[in-house]
Amino acid sequence: MKSSKYRWFVVAVFFTFMLLHQADKLLIGPLTSDIIETFNLTNTQMGAVFTGALIVGAVFYPLWGYFYDRFARSKLLALASLIWGATTWLSAIAPTYPSFLATRASTGVDDSSYPGLYSLISDYFGPQVRGKVYGLLQLTSPLGYLLGMVLALLLGAVLGWRAIFYITGSLGIILAFVIFFGVKDAPRGKSEPEMAALETQELTSYHFSWQIAKDLFRKRSIWLIFLQGFFGVFPWNVITYWFFTYLEKERFYDQTEILMTMVVAVLILAAGYPLGGALGDYFFKKVPSGRIRVAAVGVILGAIFMTLTMNVPLENRFLFGLLLAITAVFIPMASPNVISTVYDITLPEVRSTALAVQYFIESAGAALAPLLAGMIADAFSLKAAIIWICVSTWVLCAIFFTVAIRLIPTDIQTLRTQMRARAELEQQNMAAGLHNDTAFGATPE
């Protein structure tokens, strides 16, 4: 179960789960016009559908985080996949707008299920390589968007939007069984370097502790990570919701030009995830703050190249596309390094909770960004909204990362000390023929 082949099987299962889940989550965008026509909706009513799922997802982040740290993560992930499939099916059969609004909002329950997935992966892969693995898994976000777009464009007109939801919902149910029977949980902290000598031994399985959770939130570095998360999602959501309109209305691209420009940008952006993760791992081996340094450089270069891109003359489309592609490389670099850093400074039994809080805070920023961009666009232009919001928030993130660079090494050292103490206690108990179930506020499985 702990073999190298098996852990990569787990990565493959989770990659498939995330890819198809992201496609299901994001394909509602390309299907929006068909759904509006079916229920005869206004834009405001359709906007409520998007908002409902976001609100439900935000509410469930802390709950998922607690449950993942308390119970078997693999079984909960199987449940999340089953919920994905079931709620997507329910939204496909909804006969009226109120029922569709309710069922589509319910899809937000599983949208907040990723913290446990990342936590479980952290117990299969040590800190030296986690950035690369997280970067690989995060490829699923842009690739899922493209897959959703392809499904909507190729099958929407032929089968209808309900049939597409039946397909993606069925895949969620199938994956629920694959995860339930194929993915095994791992003892929390199993892959930490201090536990290497105990690889073949039975280890204590630690679970969520309120005291440990309280101690986590006393770390100044974690609050800096949370703060950058709130602002760091502003550019993502401004680009997601407004960039297509900007290309059409202010740069005068037709639909084909928009599609070609964005497909290239999204594919290059996808490469930024594993590249950022690999660079973070490399510099983490050099200095403890290496991941955060890569994240800081990524957002700074993103701000510089976004400014250059947006100021390219309208007639120079080649240069605009080239600079947009370069910008896309740097935009996602911080993401895998933030997740890895959260796990570099938190004990294994509260990692899902820590990341869930991170995502909960990000959800608040995600909700504000599109509205703020619309207000600036009405007063000035979409170009101004995109530049001002992206650049200002990336600069703020760079400041938070820079301060965190000074604090992270101390918190990493604290975690390593705690893990060494646990390893020594495990060795003592094994030598005495005992198995410790209560150390550090833990409870056994």
- Residue extents of the structural domains in the chain: 1-191, 209-432
- The CATH architecture annotation of domain 209-432 reads Up-down Bundle (1.20)
**Which has the closest alpha carbon to 426: 436, 414, 412?**
436
User: Which residue shows structure tokens 């600036």?
Assistant: 376
The topology (CATH level 3) of 1-191 is Growth Hormone; Chain: A; (1.20.1250)
**Which has the closest alpha carbon to 8: 140, 192, 133?**
133
Integer Cα distance of 300 and 372 in angstroms: 22
Is the distance from CB of 91 to CB of 38 less than 8 angstroms? no
Element (H, E) at 179: helix 161-182
Q: What is the pLDDT of residues 205-239, one digit of tens each?
A: 677 888 888 888 888 899 999 999 999 988 988 88
Q: What does each C-alpha distance from 413 to 212, 218, 289, 379, 417 come to in angstroms? A: 16, 15, 11, 49, 6
**Which has the closest alpha carbon to 13: 137, 111, 125, 108?**
137
Q: What is the pLDDT of residues 319-352, one digit of tens each?
A: 999 999 999 999 999 999 999 999 999 998 899 9
> Which tokens sit at 56?
């439900």
> Which tokens sit at 167?
């397909």
Task: Tell me the DSSP string of 359-384.
Answer: HHHHHHHHHHHHHHHHHHHHHS-HHH
Could you check whether 1-191 and 209-432 share the same CATH topology? Answer: yes
> Which tokens sit at 248?
């059409």
φ and ψ at residue 124, rounded to 5 degrees: -105, -25
**Which has the closest alpha carbon to 147: 332, 256, 21, 302?**
21
Per residue of the chain (445 residues), give pLDDT as tens: 456 789 999 999 999 999 999 888 878 777 877 888 899 978 778 777 877 887 888 889 999 999 999 889 999 999 999 999 999 999 999 999 999 999 998 998 998 889 999 999 999 998 989 999 999 999 898 888 888 877 877 777 778 889 999 999 999 999 999 999 999 998 888 888 887 666 545 666 677 888 888 888 888 899 999 999 999 988 988 887 778 778 888 999 887 888 788 889 888 998 999 999 999 999 999 999 999 999 999 999 999 999 999 999 999 999 999 999 999 999 999 999 999 999 999 998 899 999 999 988 888 777 777 778 888 888 899 899 999 999 999 999 999 999 999 999 999 999 999 888 888 887 777 777 655 444 334 444 4
